[in-house]
Amino acid sequence: MLKFALKSVAFAVTFAVTVVAVAQPAAEVLMQGPSGQVTALDVEAAVQQFPLASRKSMLARPEQVQRIAEDTYVRRTLAQEAEQTGLDKDPLVQSMIRLARERILSDARLYEVGKAGWPNEAALEGFAREQYKAQPERFTAKERIQARHILISAKEGTDAGRAEAKAKVQELLQQVKNGNSFEALATQHSADQATASRGGDLGLFELGTMVPAFEAALKNMTTAGQLSDVVETQFGYHIIRFDQRVPAGVRPFEEVKADLMRQVRDKHHREAQQAGIAKIQSTAVGNNQAVDAMNKKYGAP
């Protein structure tokens, strides 16, 4: 819904694995068939490739969980068929399997290597305060608005899909007016996965960062909790709840503290990872002749 897309984050920074030595209860079975079972743990593993906020939103929706379970079951079935036909004996396939396994384990290990370089919370806050005092110009802001929204996208962009989406959002608007929780409805129904897990919260944003129709609906809102009518944009149909306006000025430290601490932690995380990678690289010796031979083999005639 924002003009700018979400920035991707390096998987090694966002991926977290906790190794627990004690026995764990069996994961709940979500789907089963001749090829075996798909458990809740399988689905949790399948969404690790997505940012944390998106994972939470996906796992909170039955239709998403169902789709992921189905995809996992299909892949499990195809993998079993591949083994039955001997594809797992192919040297290239064996190497690909090994690389896929190593990629997952190495990402998990690299995260732990980076985590070992984190300063403690007190040190992180100290670094954050130093940056705040040294560069106050970074933290000036124009007037900002805080709002929440629920987005219902039209299926396949057809007239029937748009009519269905509009009817759905009108129904949700009436539910909010009847006293149902805006946050709960956003979490359950909003197609904006980046904000759904936060109850539709868009945070604080300056005018000019949203699409025109969305901002036009907010223009004259002044009362916390005020609701828009149904708003149509190129992304679908929205319900917007106005929360507050914050005057222009220097943002207080407490408002930027979490972001600054995260930036410091990420910097230390990356540096520890780079040091760990460099240490490993220093133990290996390349074979230039073998590299040249491979280049000649696959080079242009």
CA distance 165 to 152: 6
pLDDT digits 0-9 by tens, 192-223: 988 998 999 999 999 889 999 999 999 889 99
Residue 49's pLDDT band, with cuts at 50, 70 and 90, is confident
Q: Does 300 score more than 70 pLDDT?
A: no
pLDDT of residue 58: 86
Whole-angstrom distance, CA of residue 242 vs CA of residue 177: 14
Residue 10 tokens, joined: 């390096």
Per-residue model confidence as pLDDT tens digits over 110-145:
999 999 999 999 999 999 999 999 998 999 989 999
Query: How confident is the prediction for the chain on average, in pLDDT?
Result: 89
Question: Dihedrals φ, ψ of 132, to 5°?
Answer: -65, -40
* Span 14-40, pLDDT tens digits: 444 433 333 445 679 999 999 999 999
Which of the two residues, 83 and 161, has the higher pLDDT score? 83
Instruction: Look at residues 164, 162, 163, 189 and name the one whose alpha carbon lies nearest to residue 175.
Output: 189
8 A C-beta contact, residue 239 and residue 169: yes
**What does the DSSP 8-state code read for residue 27?**
P
List the domains of the chain with CATH numbers: 11-115 (no CATH), 143-247 (3.10.50.40)
pLDDT for position 53: 74
